[in-house]
Amino acid sequence: MRISELANPSRFLRAANLAIPWLGGATVIVFAFAIYRAMLAPDDYQQGATVKIMFLHVPSAWLGMLCWGLMTIAALGTLVWRHPLADVAAKAAAPLGAAFTLLCLVTGSLWGRPEWGTYWVWDARLTSELILLLLYLGVIALWRTVEDPSRAARAVAILTLVGAIDLPIIKFSVDWWNTLHQGASVFRLGGSTIDPTILIPLLLMAAAFTLLFVTLLLAAMRNEILRRRVRTLRLLQASAAG
Amino acid sequence: MAATAHIEFIVAAYGAGVAVIVALIAWVTLDYRLQRRILAELETKGISRRSVRESADE
């Protein structure tokens, strides 16, 4: 099956029904292995055992940004190509992105208290990440405010494209401003500065989180397609009765 | 020892992680059941995309 064929919602539903159980199983297996490796990881020479919080914080931060990136592509799909699944994907992704961004902020605060002596500082990285969470909540609110899905999709697409400005700000905030948050240490020119005993469990957790995200996204998209079918049937029923 | 001193923050972080993941799984699972149930109820009432199309044609 070609990717373009999945543009048909019925074909997408059939593919999702097949893929979700396999992806769910793979998620459980990768999570089990990643958590096992994370438990075996040694304490950091500076952070001590609190480095284990990074195994949750970093993947959730990546997914929060990745999700908005996907929503940005979906926004282009809605506005430019009018792809039938683009706004379905965007609507399904928003709560997932909000949840992972919230988890990033919560775990970051719980790491910051013992390491920095405070749960929160208004530095550029933390503030831009908080703005991302507020953008997610704005998108979710917009979907709920406008009843007609196609009108809501266009409004959300514009907000998503504007909000994408926050992604490079988050990424480069630690370079552009003097922040308490540390600089890039995984993906950087010259290679990672993290020891493999900590880097490998971190990447495994990132893989597990990504699999979880893909599984949940497909499931949420399936739900959204069914919700639109319910809406269409109710509208047709009402118009037939009238 | 540092590990003992900060264990509550580690436990709280993993607790938050479990809570978020469980909430997301519950959300998609319960929503799926709800939409399937509503569609089944509409089908039981004889309302489907095919029946609505046919009644519109008549």
What ipTM was reported for this prediction? Answer: 0.90
Q: What is the mean pLDDT of residues A8-15?
A: 90
Cβ of A53 within 8 Å of Cβ of B10? The answer is yes
> Contact A160/A90 with Cβ under 8 angstroms?
yes
Torsion of CA B45, B49, B55, B58, to 10 degrees: -160
Is B30 contained in some domain? yes
Torsion of CA B36, A71, A59, A29, to 10 degrees: 40
Contact of A96 with chain B, judged by CB distance below 8 Å, is answered with yes
Q: Domain range for residue B47?
A: 26-58
Q: What is the mean pLDDT of residues B17-44?
A: 96
In chain A, which among 189-228 make CB contacts under 8 A with chain B?
212, 216, 219-220, 222-223, 226-227
> Contact A114/B6 with Cβ under 8 angstroms?
yes
pLDDT over 80 at A58, yes or no: yes
3-state secondary structure of A50: coil
At A191, the amino acid letter reads G
Is B9 contained in some domain? no
Label residue B1 by pLDDT band (50, 70, 90).
Answer: very low
Task: Name beta bridge partners: A44.
Answer: A48
**Each residue of A95-110: pLDDT tens digit?**
999 999 999 999 999 9
CA dist B11 → A29, A53, A132, B17 (Å): 22, 9, 26, 10
End-to-end distance of chain A based on CA atoms, in angstroms?
A: 41
Cβ of A233 within 8 Å of Cβ of B21? The answer is no
pTM of the model: 0.91
Cβ-nearest to A102 among B5, B20, B42: B20
| Residue of chain A whose Cα is closest to the Cα of B48 | A233
A130 CB-near residues (< 8 Å, 6+ apart): A105
Half-sphere exposure of A193 (CA within 13 A, CB side): 7
Contact of A236 with chain B, judged by CB distance below 8 Å, is answered with yes
DSSP at A43: P
Cβ of A53 within 8 Å of Cβ of B56? The answer is no
Is B42 contained in some domain? yes
Is B4 contained in some domain? no
Contact of B35 with chain A, judged by CB distance below 8 Å, is answered with yes
* Residues of B in Cβ contact (< 8 Å) with A117: none
Cβ of A233 within 8 Å of Cβ of B6? The answer is no
For the stretch A10-19, what's the b/e string if a residue is b when 16 or more beta carbons lie within 10 angstroms of its beta carbon? eebbebbeee
Contact of A113 with chain B, judged by CB distance below 8 Å, is answered with yes
Q: What pLDDT score was predicted for residue B54?
A: 58
Label residue A189 by pLDDT band (50, 70, 90).
Answer: low
> Dmax over Cα atoms in chain A, in whole Å?
73
Cβ-nearest to A107 among B17, B25, B38: B17
Distance from CA of B50 to the nearest CA of A (A): 10
Q: Provide the domain count of chain B.
A: 1
Is B58 contained in some domain? yes
Q: How far apart are CA A88 and CA A223, in angstroms?
A: 9
Contact of B57 with chain A, judged by CB distance below 8 Å, is answered with no
Q: How many residues does chain A have?
A: 242
Contact of A56 with chain B, judged by CB distance below 8 Å, is answered with yes
Is B8 contained in some domain? no
> Contact A103/B17 with Cβ under 8 angstroms?
yes
pLDDT over 60 at A122, yes or no: yes
Is B17 contained in some domain? no
Q: What pLDDT score was predicted for residue B49?
A: 66
At B6, the amino acid letter reads H
How many C-beta atoms surround the C-beta of residue A154 within 10 A? 16
Q: What pLDDT score was predicted for residue A20?
A: 97
pLDDT over 50 at A62, yes or no: yes
Q: What is the mean pLDDT of residues A44-63?
A: 93
